[in-house]
Each structure stands twice: as structure tokens, then as C-alpha cells.
């Protein structure tokens, strides 16, 4: 091959490769994300205005009929005490009744019947938070031996959650705009919104097995309502332009 022709061919190939490399570098520098997705939280704190409490009786006896009758009598007395304290019937409902034979066990094997366990549980709602300790004491004095749960709530929970959602949205938008600016692009339109469920906090929820079982005559004046934290989490995706 002619040396001059070979030199021209090599030079042409080198120029072509250089041009391709330049276009590749230029193309890489202008790549922008097609979408930007962020996750943001919002939270609102508020004082609760409602308490929900589970009050119950659990009794053990050698035979079913007497112990079951006593449990019924105690529950009737508890309901009467709650009514006297200002709780209306529509804010009380029975949520559990149980009768369970009890046996001795040896090496994990059921042996002899020792008696019967009878129980009943009442769900009570009250808006008198200041009077809640006295209400619980009245129930205990009337025969309750289990306070399984105290939960503080708000009657305007939807409004609080809407405020938390607004906060989450504003935070998500701010994050997305910052990322778009760093990437050299702009947000266009929202392509998806997801709101994962997260639990609100600010409630007393003990293990129902251990519960708040208190002996008759003990004080419940230490109950504090604290505050509710209503939270919202949003995952938002924008297309870019």
C-alpha cells in the first residue's frame, strides 16, 4: 500500500474516533433525570379530647355458675357506676366475654380440672379527660379488676391528618425542587403520589395480657393525657423538563 494513502487512512480514522469521543462526552454532560422522586414527612401535635378505656372483670372459682354470676353482677355495678359518672350508654359497649376451664398441667400435659375463669370486657369512651382518674377509680371500686388499655384520641383527627399531609407535601416539593436545580432541570408534573400508612403516636397501649390490672382501692390518679402526634408520609414523583 502506498505510504501516503496509509497515512491519510490512519489520520481519517483518528479524526473520526476523536469526533465520536467528543460527541459521547457532550451527550453524557447533557443527560438529565426523566423523573425525580422524594419521600417526606409531616407531623402535627395536638391535645387529645377523648379517652377510650377498656375496663373488665376476671374471676376464678371452682364451679362455673357462681363465678359467672358474680362476674355479671360486678359488670352491672361497673356500668351503673359509669352512668353515675356521666358516661352515656352509647359510649359503653361489651367487647369481650370469656369462660375458660382451668386445669393443672404436668410436663405440658393437661391433668385435673381446677376451676373456671369467667371474664367480661367493656369499652368506654369519655370526653372528660380531667375526670378520667376518678372514673377509673369508680369502676375499680364497683368491682373491676382489669383496666386493659387507655387510648387518647381526637375528634378532629381528619383535620389534623390533613394539616400533616400539607406539611409533607410542602416538604416533598421543596426537596424535589432542590434536586432538580442540582441536576440542571426543572420539575414538570406529578406522575405518582403514594401515602404509606404510619401509626400516630401519643397513646397508652400496654400489652393486653399484663394490662393495667390494679387491686381494688388503688389510685389511678397518675394517668396523663399528654399530646397526640399525627403523622403523614408522602412519596411523590415528578417528571422533569
Strands 187-194 and 228-240: antiparallel
Alpha helices, H only, 85-186: 132-141, 157-182
Q: Which CATH number do you get for residue 138? A: 3.30.70.2970
The reply to whether 138 falls in a domain is yes
Q: Is residue 164 part of a domain?
A: no
Q: Tell me if 233 sits within 8 A of 198, measured CB to CB.
A: yes
**211 with 138, same domain?**
yes
User: Is there a single domain that holds both residue 119 and residue 59?
Assistant: yes
Q: What is the pLDDT of residues 108-130, one digit of tens each?
A: 787 889 999 999 999 999 999 99
DSSP code at position 201 = B
pLDDT at 199: 75
- Mapped onto helix, strand or coil, the DSSP state of residue 129 is coil
For residues 102 and 57, state if they share a domain: yes
Q: What is the pLDDT of residues 49-58, one digit of tens each?
A: 999 999 999 9
Residue 32, domain member (yes or no): no
Average pLDDT of the chain to the nearest whole number:
83
In the chain, how many domains are there?
A: 2
In a domain, residue 115? The reply is yes
pLDDT surpasses 80 at 147: yes
Quick one: 72 and 129 in the same domain? yes
Q: Which residues span the domain enclosing 3?
A: 1-26
Same domain, 19 and 116: no
- Per-residue model confidence as pLDDT tens digits over 184-224: 999 999 999 999 988 766 544 433 333 333 444 445 556 78
* CA–CA dist 212, 163 (Å, integer): 34
Is residue 5 domain-shared with residue 57, that is, in the same domain?
Answer: no
Q: Is 12 in the same domain as 85?
A: no
Q: Check whether residue 210 and residue 123 sit in a common domain.
A: yes
Contacts of 188-192 with C-beta under 8 Å, sequence gap 24+, read 188/238, 188/239, 188/240, 188/241, 189/238, 189/239, 190/236, 190/237, 190/238, 191/35, 191/237, 191/238, 191/239, 192/37, 192/235, 192/236, 192/237
Residue 177 in any domain: the answer is no
Can you give the C-alpha Rg of the chain in angstroms? Answer: 34
Domain assignment of residue 146, yes or no: yes
Give the 3-state secondary structure of residue 25. helix
167 falls within a domain: no
Categorize the per-residue pLDDT at 1 as very low, low, confident or very high, splitting at 50, 70 and 90: low
Cβ contacts of 5 within 8 Å, gap of 6 or more: none
pTM of the model: 0.68
Set of cell numbers at residue 115? 376451676
Shared domain check, 212 and 122: yes
- CA-nearest of 87, 163, 81 to 126 is 87
Alpha carbons 230 and 223: distance in angstroms, whole number: 21
16/104 same-domain check: no
Assigned domain for 77 exists: yes
Same domain, 214 and 103: yes
Query: Do the Cβ atoms of 146 and 58 come closer than 8 Å?
Result: yes
Alpha-carbon separation of residue 29 from 23, 57, 90 (angstroms)? 10, 73, 68
pLDDT greater than 80 at residue 10? no
Residues 115 and 14 in one domain: no
* pLDDT range class, residue 80, cuts 50, 70, 90: very high
Q: Which positions ≥6 away from 57 have C-beta within 8 Å?
A: 71, 74, 75, 78, 119, 120, 143, 144, 145, 146
Amino acid at each position: 500500500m502506498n505510504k501516503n494513502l496509509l497515512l491519510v487512512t490512519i489520520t481519517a480514522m483518528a479524526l473520526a474516533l476523536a469526533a465520536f469521543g467528543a460527541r459521547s462526552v457532550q451527550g453524557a454532560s447533557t443527560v438529565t433525570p426523566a423523573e425525580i422522586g422524594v419521600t417526606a414527612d409531616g407531623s402535627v401535635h395536638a391535645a387529645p379530647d377523648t379517652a377510650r378505656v377498656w375496663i373488665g372483670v376476671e374471676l376464678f372459682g371452682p364451679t362455673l355458675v357462681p363465678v359467672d354470676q358474680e362476674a355479671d353482677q360486678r359488670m352491672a355495678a361497673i356500668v351503673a357506676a359509669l352512668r353515675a359518672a356521666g358516661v352515656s350508654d352509647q359510649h359503653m359497649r361489651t367487647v369481650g366475654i370469656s369462660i375458660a376451664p382451668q386445669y393443672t398441667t404436668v410436663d405440658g400435659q393437661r391433668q385435673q380440672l381446677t376451676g373456671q375463669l369467667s371474664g367480661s370486657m367493656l369499652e368506654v369512651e369519655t370526653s372528660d379527660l380531667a375526670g378520667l382518674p376518678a372514673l377509673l377509680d369508680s369502676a375499680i371500686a364497683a368491682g373491676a379488676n382489669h383496666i386493659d388499655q387507655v387510648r387518647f384520641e381526637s375528634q378532629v383527627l381528619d383535620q389534623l391528618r390533613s394539616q400533616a399531609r400539607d406539611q409533607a407535601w410542602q416538604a416533598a416539593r421543596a426537596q424535589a425542587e432542590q434536586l432538580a436545580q442540582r441536576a440542571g432541570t426543572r420539575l414538570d408534573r406529578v406522575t405518582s403520589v403514594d401515602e404509606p400508612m404510619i401509626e400516630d403516636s401519643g397513646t397508652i397501649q400496654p400489652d393486653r395480657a399484663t394490662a393495667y390490672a390494679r387491686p381494688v382501692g388503688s389510685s389511678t390518679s397518675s394517668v396523663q393525657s399528654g399530646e397526640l402526634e399525627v403523622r403523614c408520609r408522602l412519596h411523590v414523583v415528578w417528571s422533569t423538563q
